[in-house]
Chains A and B, each alone.
Chain A
Amino acid sequence: MKKFAVVLCVLLMLGSMAFAQGQTATAGKQLLKVGMVTDAGTIDDKSFNQGTWEGILKAQKEGLVEAKYLKPSGSTEADYLKEIGNLYDAGYRFIICPGFKFETTIFEAQDKYPAAKFVILDGEPHSADYSVFRIEKNVVGVYYAEQESGFLAGVAAALQVKTGEFGFIGGMEIPAVQKFNWGWQQGIKYANEKHGTKITIKAENVIYQGSFDNVAAGQQIAASMYDKGVNVIFAAAGGVGVGAINEAKARATAGKNVWIVGVDVDQYNDGVIPGGKSIILTSAMKYLDRASYDMIKHELAGTFPGGTVLRLNAQNDGIGIPVTNPNLSADVSAKVAEVFNMLKTGAVKVADTQVAGLFK
């Protein structure tokens, strides 16, 4: 037994020496270690986590960084902080966190880990009771102009469908989702006024389900809306949207004229039904991958805009609808591109608050 222990010790020492040498050998071309902590849901959620991660992966493929993500066991601040700590301890000094839920976490982490740099997508650090907003030099907050994205999707959907009734299903009633909703309604209004479409939207068909993971509720709410005569639903609701898409697929297969407008990423492929058509009319996108990729590039170039809050919108190509939309006619796509340009120049403005005439 003693012999065994001695042999084990020797082996361990040899091992650690070997690894230590390995480290010194590669120290010459040490890559930036980029970490990511996922929000609720998996890394391949076809939404927020995946979009962000794809940008990081792009940088890794180009040989710029070494990337790793960690999935917290829960979705509380403590869970997030733990994983940030784990990444930090493993030498990751550039950490990207997708989702507003990280706001309070980063508020703590920016002081706890001054040597690390953080990017928070969809938010900025603040205290739990929203009383203190403070962003340190090692943090960048990124906001998206969801209202512009929702606006474009609203214009596109209205122009394509021309006459009908629209609805909206949101996840939690948080600013990012609310802005999608308000933009969506303004887009419909814009199309009605400027392009003569006849789209109605009722207050009762604009709802926030209250979660991002209740698939069953998504299906049931979408079914109820379609039953009442809604043709197009904008589902900005994560997993709740999955249920809505499922319902739309079943109805479209049965020959009904129903559509979903996707969110965050291009969801066209999620809506494909037998026969090859998709029930995703278009998607209101945030280019998450561009944001995470750009931040990494900035860091490598030494121009990390720490301490600032960035607002990504049409002007800096941070939002938009997908490049290709098989369900939109060429004419509609051209008109939407026009509107996009007007957003860029500022000729058209979209309110990011609940201005008069908007529901919820």
Chain B
Amino acid sequence: MADAKLSFMENYRKQSRNFRSPLWISVYVLAAVVVLGFMSGSHLIRMIFPYAIAYTIPMLMTALGGLYSERSGVTNLGLEGLMLVGYFATAITIKYTEQTSYAIALPLGLLVGVLAGALFSMLHAFASINLKADQVISGTAINMLASALTVYLARTIAGSGNVRIMLGIVRKDIPLLSKIPIVGPLLFTQTYWSTWVALAVWGASWYLLYKTSFGLRLRACGEHPSAVASAGVNVHRMRYFGVAMSGALAGLGGGTILITYSGEFNGTVAGLGFLSIAALIFGQWKPLGILGATFFFGTATTIANVSQVIPEFGVIPPVVFKVFPYVVTLLALVAFSKRSAAPKASGEPF
């Protein structure tokens, strides 16, 4: 047992030293984008960054949820479905509260989305923790169930598979901060308040996972659960917490889609949940890594989307931008799979 603990610590130290992770590639690429943007005038960045950030946040939250789950030792392929549940719950809540009070409808909707996601993820937790079922199958079942159930409920409750809310968040410039040269237009103009909530959640998660003994225990559950159990920690309870967080954060991600860029629940999150899983791997299961990875995906997708409208990008065919994030992910996965820092016990029932 002592041996096992030792190897866990060694592995943990190795991971913390793993600075040449794909994260840095995305940082390089982003730096290149920024430099390119400055070369062709800062208006280009102003045109892309606010929207890229908005597109990144749902993925960041979902990938962070995946991080909690996998770090605690439960593989979660059901993120797509959990996102969808949050998306739906947020939409239906806002639809029925926006008439009475518009000011509280959006935050309330998000909260319900978070709770619904957490609740729904309990199915996955029960199957994979108590029943020791195959987590891949359980996760897939979550996806299938969510896509059918949400549309069914939308039809029953709202009378249509498409639930439209009257208005999402109206973007605002942050006073003073948006006036800072370079950084101002990049980060503090045209922002959604949900973005700052999400970043706060991200920061708090990093602190919880890496700076508290609770976080250390949670991560240990994903590396060597029997060692943790021998130290008197309830592994099942830790894993339940991890899965619940993944549901809650994926729900938050889904809700954010609705109140930022879509404005309508339409029965699909268009693969963002799976992209979040890719970002989780790409980001090597680390908070900073997934921030870089999701922002990379978000920026690349946004550039692909708006490249047609911006003449400066017109020289490159849009299809190049569209495949770019996926190709880079594939290459990165090939290049880094050997040094993959996946939690050792992720996917193994305990």
| Chain A interface residues (CB < 8 Å from chain B) | 42-46, 204-205, 207-210, 213-217, 219-221, 223-225, 227-228, 239, 242-243, 245-247, 249-250, 253-254, 270, 272-274
Contact = CB atoms under 8 A, between A and B. Distances in A.
B305 A217 contact: yes
A223 B308 CA distance: 13
Contact of A250 (B55, B159, B169): B169
Given A43-B161, A215-B264, 9 more contacts: A207-B309, A216-B270, A219-B263, A220-B55, A221-B306, A227-B47, A246-B264, A249-B166, A253-B167
Contacts of A207: 308-309
Given A204-B314, A274-B167, A45 B162 contact: yes
Nearest to B308: A207
B51 interface: yes
A244 B268 CA distance: 18
A245 B263 contact: yes
B160 A215 contact: no
Nearest to A240: B305
Given A42-B162, A246-B168, A215 B261 contact: yes
A341 B151 CA distance: 43
Given A250-B170, A270-B164, A219 B262 contact: yes
Contacts of B311: 204
B302 interface: yes
A216 B170 CA distance: 16
A243 B151 contact: no
A337 to B, nearest CB: 30
B6 interface: no
Given A215-B264, A274-B166, A224 B270 contact: no
Interface of B: 46-47, 51, 55, 102, 151, 155, 159-162, 164, 166-171, 261-264, 266-268, 270, 301-302, 305-306, 308-311, 314, 318
A246 B309 contact: no
Contacts of A274: 102, 166-167
Given A216-B55, A242-B262, A224 B310 contact: yes
A243 B262 CA distance: 5
A213 B270 contact: yes
Contact of B170 (A214, A228, A254): A254
A243 to B, nearest CB: 6
A224 B309 contact: yes
B313 to A, nearest CB: 10
Contacts of B305: 209, 214, 216-217, 220-221
B168 A254 contact: no
B290 to A, nearest CB: 19
A60 B250 CA distance: 43
A16 to B, nearest CB: 31
A42 B46 CA distance: 36
Instruction: Find the residue from B151, B155, B268, B270 having the highest chain A CB count within 10 A.
Output: B270
A74 to B, nearest CB: 13
Instruction: Find the residue from B162, B302, B311 having the highest chain A CB count within 10 A.
Output: B162
